Structure formats: structure tokens, C-alpha cells
């Protein structure tokens, strides 16, 4: 690897495999920078959407519901779309987002 490529790669965390993503419909991983959830973008499944699923209302952990294509909070019912945007409920502040990409069989998230 050239120095540039090596430093670029060190900015990414491997959070799972493409098989994990497609079998479960999501990746949910605790990492050194917090919990990260990754799904395929509803608008373009070639792309990925990654968020910190920690609810911006009061810190409960939202969970991805593939049928409604939303992150739903169990505490007070906030809903966020795949990109972390608030849909309904007490918090319209978006979830924290990350850049995610596929490289080979790995799903990578930028720190
Ligand atoms: Fe998520 Fe209140 S903590 S809706």
C-alpha cells in the first residue's frame, strides 16, 4: 500500500461482512467509537447507510425494523429513517451518521 492508501484504510473500521449485512438485513456492532448500525440504502441498495442507533431524545438504543425501514426507539417511540433523519416522535434531531462502504467482502465504516 502507498502511504496515502494505508492512512486512508486506517481511518476505517471493519464492522462485518457483506454476508452478515445481507443475511440479517443490517449490521449492528459495538466498536471503539460506539455502537454502529449499517443497512443498505433504501434509495440505492448499492450504497450503505450507517448510524449510531443511540436515540437523540434520551439515549435509548433504537433498533432497525426492516418492514417499516426505520430505526424505532423502544422508550418513547421516536422513529428515524435509514439515514438517521427523524420521522416522528419526541426527537427530530438526527442520529449521528457515518460513512460506510463495501470493500471486497467487508463492510467498512469511517471513524
Ligand atoms: Fe428515544 Fe425517548 S429515548 S424516544
State the CATH number of the domain containing residue 11.
Answer: 2.102.10.10
Enter the ipTM.
0.99
Full domain range(s) for residue 69? 3-110
Spatial distance between the Cα atoms of 70 and 74, rounded to a whole number of angstroms:
12
DSSP 10-39: HTEEEEEEHHHHHHHSSEEEEETTEEEEEE
Give the count of domains, the chain: 1
Q: In the prediction, which pLDDT does 9 show? A: 62
Q: Which residues of the chain have pLDDT under 70?
A: 1-9
Q: Is the CB of 50 under 6 A from ligand 1?
A: no
Q: Is the CB of 75 under 6 A from ligand 1?
A: yes
Q: In the prediction, which pLDDT does 3 show? A: 58
Q: What is the pLDDT of residues 86-110, one digit of tens each?
A: 999 998 899 999 999 999 999 999 9
Across the chain, where does the E strand assignment appear?
12-17, 27-31, 34-40, 48-51, 63-65, 70-72, 79-80, 86-88, 97-98, 100-103, 106-110
Q: In the prediction, which pLDDT does 10 show? A: 78
Amino acid at each position: 500500500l502507498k502511504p496515502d492508501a494505508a492512512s486512508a484504510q486506517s481511518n476505517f473500521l471493519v464492522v462485518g461482512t457483506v454476508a452478515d449485512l445481507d443475511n440479517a438485513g443490517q449490521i449492528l456492532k459495538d466498536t471503539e467509537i460506539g455502537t454502529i448500525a449499517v443497512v443498505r440504502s433504501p434509495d440505492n441498495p448499492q450504497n450503505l447507510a450507517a448510524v449510531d442507533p443511540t436515540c437523540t431524545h434520551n439515549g435509548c438504543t433504537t433498533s432497525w425494523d426492516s418492514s417499516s425501514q426505520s430505526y424505532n426507539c423502544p422508550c418513547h417511540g421516536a422513529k428515524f429513517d435509514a439515514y438517521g433523519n427523524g420521522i416522528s416522535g419526541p426527537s427530530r434531531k438526527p442520529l449521528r451518521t457515518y460513512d460506510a462502504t463495501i470493500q471486497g467482502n467487508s463492510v467498512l465504516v469511517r471513524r
